[in-house]
Amino acid sequence: MILIMNAKKLAQMIAVCRAIPIGFNYRVACKAMGKTRALASLSEQLGARTGMMGLYLRQACYRHILEHVGQDAYLGYMSQFSKTTARIGDHVYIGRFCSIGSVIIEDDVMLADNVQLLSGSHQHGDHSTEGSLRDNVHFYQTITIGRGAWIGANAVVMADVGADAIVGAGAVVTKPVAAGDRVAGVPAKSIIKPTLAKAG
């Protein structure tokens, strides 16, 4: 057990050293192409790194780029971040091929594969202005995934999810989910059956 722990610490130290030039290149890229494109490029590169060294490298790099990355956060293969405002709590599990926007992910949250956590539900504005959607003002909001929540595979989340809530696989969350609730469907709705009050 001690040998395994020492090997893990050594691998994490190597990842920290490898993260230094990556971080330098990212800052140069921010000046050359802007923060959004630089983050997209870096996130794709980091996501493609395989194995435990890939995981440790993602942890080391994102700790200097995102607002916060907690202890023992698992950042899965090909999962990517689009906003540096993301905050990842302790013991968070992010599966493979996830897409994370401006999101606060509290401690002990678990995301299955292919989950999308968007920066709110009105990112692309509307057609009230002339031109295409691309020309409209973008509205980015920070959503929160509460402590201990579980988000099922292929879910799309655009609103807050309360602590210990469960979002079913394939659900599309457009409205806040209360703490402890269980939701599923498109759009997501509560699937907890109300309990009948016992007669006097």
Segment 121-180, tens digit of pLDDT: 555 555 555 666 566 666 678 999 999 999 999 999 999 999 999 999 999 999 999 999
Which comes out higher in pLDDT, residue 9 or 68? 68
CATH number, domain of 74, equals 2.160.10.10
* Measured distance CA(135)–CA(129) in Å, rounded: 8
The residue behind tokens 């799309």 is 156
Q: Is there a single domain that holds both residue 110 and residue 175?
A: yes
Domain boundary among 17, 34, 65: 65
Q: Which residues constitute the domain of residue 86?
A: 68-191
For the beta carbon of residue 175, count every other beta carbon within 10 angstroms.
12
Cβ neighbours for 106, distance < 8 A, ≥ 6 positions apart: 89, 144, 145, 146, 147, 148, 149, 163
The backbone region for 14, taken as left when phi is positive above 0, alpha when psi lies in -120 to 50, beta otherwise, is alpha
Domains contained in the chain, number? 2
Q: Is there a single domain that holds both residue 180 and residue 103?
A: yes
Q: Is there a single domain that holds both residue 42 and residue 83?
A: no
Domain boundary among 21, 50, 65: 65
pTM: 0.85
Q: Is there a single domain that holds both residue 40 and residue 136?
A: no
Cβ neighbours for 163, distance < 8 A, ≥ 6 positions apart: 106, 146, 147, 148, 149, 179, 180
